[in-house]
Chain A
Amino acid sequence: NDSLFITCEFQVSLLKESDGVVTGRFADSLLLSLPPCDLATQSVTLEYNNTDVSVKTLVNIFKVLPCQLRRDIISTIENNAQFTTSRNLGYQVTNLTTGSTYRLQYVVGAEKSNILEVSTRQVKDHNQIDSGLPARSGAMVVITVILSVSMLILLVALIVTVAHSLGGD
């Protein structure tokens, strides 16, 4: 039936390294891609919820391109001596809880995006990092074994030499 196919008018996704950022998932915020430009000049609403909590709606957070620069739009500005270009990369959703799963959806006018389900990063305790001795490297084993054996051989040889020379006399 028609419930098998879910038509999304446009896509929303997390920003990735290929989009020019280190990561799209922080501990308390997420970087989302922007709605496409053909919805230009309409204002965007973002609805999201945590799996347990009621839906939060951020209304009219920005207008689709031509975007006016708002606080949370991430834009790069590249400039050399001749000109400045700026690109808008995405939107940053802040004040999120660490390590929880969120469902996010843009609403632009009559159109909705897909529901993006992502979780923020779970912050690990640095005291839990195991900093014990990792596997012994080959170099260490070779050097230790060969040097220990050679020390032993020399010691034995010296004792034998001295004993022999004393015995000989």
Chain B
Amino acid sequence: DRRTATMADGKGTTCLMVILILGNIFGAAAGLALCALAIWVAVDEYKLYPISGVSGKDDIFAGAWIAIFTGFAFFCMCVFGILAAAKKSRALMLTYLILMLIIYIFECASCITAVTHRDYLVGNSNLVKKQMLKYYAADGDSGSRITLTWNKVMKEVECCGTDGPVDWIEHNSTFREKFGTDYPWPTHCCKRKNNYEVVNLEACKNGQNTTMFTKGCFNHIESVFSRYTWAISWYGFAVLMFMFWLLILAMVYYLML
């Protein structure tokens, strides 16, 4: 009885072993890619971290850091899984299953918190606008970081304000308190020549749209944070869905050993 049972299992086990090994190879590659993608997010080439950092909603980047480690851990564990499956060892398979589950839970946390904080930050333009009005031209560390970030964005993306230049005149702000109403908006909203000189300062103060940037910066900021979030949370989600089925198969294999 036992002999026939193991013989019947033999072919099935080999088949499952091959599937597991292939799955783990693919999983290792996916984990390594997740690690690389998370490094890209953590590097923040668009230099928009201060906007999330000052608001305290910076878990897109915390999720990225977690994903760097879980991605690499998935890679290592999948290589270990290949060994465990090939050796047909129960103890090794159990170790594999427990460690993979722990890494799985951490990666879930990374995905969920990244997408939640993205909703906080750029679900609508209110938080970014309020932060801009409060911290632009303010004193202190937060103020200088936000001011530098906004100046960079306004110059490179050629935009002004969050939804538009009207934000600066519709609300009071630290900028207005400091500089009065002579300049309705910062001079970074004005078009400049290649030598950085303002094209026409008086026209810019009056709001003539040929001499200043009239589109809002929120579209750009939202698209950057969304891009980072989709990298961490959606790709992380895809990797996790693949790992879910791999782990279920691994449990079945463990039971068959």
Q: Could you tell me which A residues sit within 8 Å of B by CB distance? A: 17, 20-23, 26-28, 31, 74, 76-78, 89, 92, 121, 123-127, 129-131, 133-137, 139-140, 143-144, 146-148, 150-151, 153-155, 157-158, 161-162, 164-165
Interface pair A125/B172, CB less than 8 Å apart? yes
Which residues of A sit under 8 angstroms from B115, Cβ to Cβ?
137, 139-140, 143-144
Additional pairs, 5, CB under 8 Å, beyond known A154-B244, A154-B247 = A123-B169, A133-B119, A137-B115, A147-B111, A157-B247
A70 to B148, CA, bound (A): 37
Query: B95: shortest Cβ distance to chain A, in Å?
Result: 12
- 3 closest pairs, A vs B, by CB? A134-B123, A22-B207, A126-B133
Which residues of A sit under 8 angstroms from B244, Cβ to Cβ?
150, 153-154
Which residues of A sit under 8 angstroms from B169, Cβ to Cβ?
23, 26-27, 121, 123
| Between-chain CB contacts (< 8 Å), 23 pairs | A21-B209, A22-B164, A22-B212, A26-B207, A27-B169, A28-B181, A74-B206, A92-B206, A121-B170, A126-B133, A126-B171, A126-B172, A129-B133, A140-B119, A143-B115, A144-B112, A147-B112, A150-B108, A150-B241, A154-B247, A161-B97, A161-B255, A164-B255
Surface stretch bound by A, among B16-24, B40-48, B65-73, B124-132:
B124-132
Query: A98: shortest Cβ distance to chain B, in Å?
Result: 9
Interface assignment of B90: CB less than 8 Å from any CB of chain A: yes
A107 to B130, CA, bound (A): 43
A164 to B121, CA, bound (A): 46
A140 to B104, CA, bound (A): 18
Query: Which bracket fits the contact residues of B?
Result: 35 or more
Number of A-B contacts (CB under 8 A): 143
Interface pair A125/B171, CB less than 8 Å apart? yes
Which residues of B sit under 8 angstroms from A124, Cβ to Cβ?
170-172
Q: Would you list which residues of chain B between 58 and 117 have a CB under 8 Å from chain A?
A: 90, 94, 97-98, 101, 104-105, 108, 111-112, 115-116
A136 to B118, CA, bound (A): 10
Which residues of B sit under 8 angstroms from A28, Cβ to Cβ?
181
Interface pair A165/B254, CB less than 8 Å apart? yes
Query: B6: shortest Cβ distance to chain A, in Å?
Result: 14
Known: A17-B209, A22-B214. A161 touches B254 (CB 8 A): yes
Interface pair B94/A137, CB less than 8 Å apart? no
Query: B203: shortest Cβ distance to chain A, in Å?
Result: 6
Interface assignment of B26: CB less than 8 Å from any CB of chain A: no
Secondary structure of the B side of the interface? helix
Which residue of chain B lies nearest to A92 when distances are taken between CB atoms in the complex? B206
A92 to B254, CA, bound (A): 81
Query: A70: shortest Cβ distance to chain B, in Å?
Result: 13
Interface assignment of B165: CB less than 8 Å from any CB of chain A: yes
Interface pair A31/B206, CB less than 8 Å apart? yes
Interface pair B207/A89, CB less than 8 Å apart? no
Which residues of A sit under 8 angstroms from B210, Cβ to Cβ?
20, 76, 78
Interface pair A22/B209, CB less than 8 Å apart? yes
Query: A104: shortest Cβ distance to chain B, in Å?
Result: 18
Known: A22-B207, A74-B206. A131 touches B127 (CB 8 A): yes
Which residue of chain B lies nearest to A120 when distances are taken between CB atoms in the complex? B169
Residue among A78, A126, A148, A162 having the largest count of chain B Cβ atoms under 10 Å? A126
Which residues of A sit under 8 angstroms from B247, Cβ to Cβ?
154, 157
Which residues of B sit under 8 angstroms from A76, Cβ to Cβ?
200, 203, 208, 210-211
Interface pair A157/B251, CB less than 8 Å apart? yes
Which residue of chain A lies nearest to B129 when distances are taken between CB atoms in the complex? A129
A74 to B237, CA, bound (A): 56
A139 to B172, CA, bound (A): 34
A126 to B125, CA, bound (A): 13
